[in-house]
Amino acid sequence: MDNQPPSLKRFYRAIVEVFGERYLRAPDANDVARLLQIGEKCCFPGMLGSLDCMHWTWKNCPTAWAGQYAGKSRELTIILEAVADYDLWIWHAHFGMPGSNNDINVLEASYLFSNLVNGIAPPCHYVIQGQQYNTGYYLAIGIYPKWSTLVQTIHEPRGPKKKLFAMMQEACRKDIERAFGVVQSRFVIVKGPANFWDKCVLHDIMPSCIIMHNMIIEDERDEQAVIQVWKEASTLEVDIARDENIIFKEFLARHSQIKDKEAHYALCNALIEHLWE
């Protein structure tokens, strides 16, 4: 049995309920502007952060669930998928998938691109090699699929251009690994094995630690940096009746655009040339 007092469990729940809306939010237009500026400074225009997964050992996982929570090492774990920027702010946290899943399964189950698919994502405009783009991307490891919103390193790069790209991509992608390390160093409870039987308690502990981590990042962040804020003209909101078939077709088109492999390779090639120049 876990030895945590009920008051501490209520504390985790209160942190999520009170501060979750602010510190677990998706980037808004101003946040995207800041992230694009950071990506430009890192020589990756259009980058919105780094994506990766972390396994948290679940010591008291119920025996009946052991099969689905046992990963490659046979250790029982529960997975956190997260996106972090250069400041180590965690913008996306999808927690709770069993450890037997790989990063691709977790990505398919998460809501990382839900706003983009539904057409409500903030504007994201940038230029690479004279080509304009309207969709940001995340740096990821090689296991992730070749989507237009993900940029992986090059396995065994050949030639100076690709070697430079691989070196820069791997260096920038360390942001998410640094974020995981900082969270674990600040909150010992997520560094060691989880000693709880109830998965609902774990679903409160991990987000609450991420919320408090983001609070610290906000307090220490350099707010004096000049950020180009996106301003939209005020317009009256009018509900316009639209054909549901058209809405569904637009949804499918955005979904296909995200998983466009040709767009992925075109973006990677443009980034290779941009970094070389």
Question: Two tokens at 20?
Answer: 């979750």
Who's near 10: CB < 8 A, 6+ residues apart? Answer: none
- Tell whether the model's pLDDT for residue 215 goes beyond 90: yes
Q: What is the CA radius of gyration of the chain?
A: 20
Residue 89: closest CA among 11, 26, 168: 26
Mean pLDDT of all residues in 175-195: 93
Checking if the pLDDT of 180 tops 90, the result is yes
Percent of the chain with pLDDT over 70: 91
Q: Residue 145's pLDDT is what? A: 94
119 neighbors 135 (Cβ within 8 angstroms): no
Q: φ, ψ for residue 47 (rounded to 5)?
A: -75, 130
Tokens matching residue 42: 């890192």
Classify residue 220 by burial, with Cβ atoms within 10 Å: 0-12, 13-18, 19+: exposed
The predicted-structure confidence for 73-105, as pLDDT tens digits, reads as follows: 789 999 999 999 999 999 999 999 999 999 999
pLDDT the model gives residue 223: 57
The more confidently predicted of residues 118 and 210 is 210
Q: What is the pLDDT of residue 224?
A: 52
**Once rounded to an integer, what is the mean pLDDT over residues 201-217?**
95
At residue 152, the pLDDT reads 95
Q: State residue 235's pLDDT score.
A: 39
Among 99-113, 186-200, 203-217, 236-250, the range scoring the smallest mean pLDDT is: 236-250
Higher pLDDT, residue 50 or 254 = 50
Indicate whether 227 pLDDT > 70: no
Helices (H), the chain: 6-23, 29-41, 66-69, 103-109, 114-117, 160-172, 174-186, 199-220, 244-258, 261-276
- Residue 147 CB neighbour total at 10 angstroms: 21
Q: If you average pLDDT over every residue of the chain, what do you get?
A: 88
| pLDDT given for residue 234 in this prediction | 36
Q: Write the CA distances from 188 to 124, 181, 205, integer angstroms.
A: 37, 11, 11
Q: What is the DSSP letter of 26?
A: P
Residue 4: per-residue pLDDT: 64
> Is residue 191 pLDDT above 50, yes or no?
yes
Per-residue pLDDT reduced to its tens digit, 43-73: 999 999 999 999 999 999 998 998 999 977 7
Q: Residue 237 in 3-state DSSP?
A: coil
For 76, the 3-state DSSP assignment is strand
Task: In whole angstroms, give the CA distance from residue 247 to residue 253.
Answer: 10
What residue ranges do the domains of the chain occupy? 6-222+243-276
| pLDDT digit string, tens, across residues 17-49 | 999 999 999 999 999 999 999 999 999 999 999
Predicted local distance difference test score (pLDDT) of residue 250: 83
- What is the share, in percent, of the chain residues with pLDDT greater than 90? 70
Question: Is the pLDDT reported for residue 238 higher than 70?
Answer: no
Amino acid at 31: D
pLDDT category at 229 given cuts 50, 70, 90 is: very low
Quote the tokens at residue 264: 């992925």
CB burial string 18-38: b at 16+ within 10 A, e below: ebeeebbebbeeebbbbbbeb
pLDDT at position 241: 56
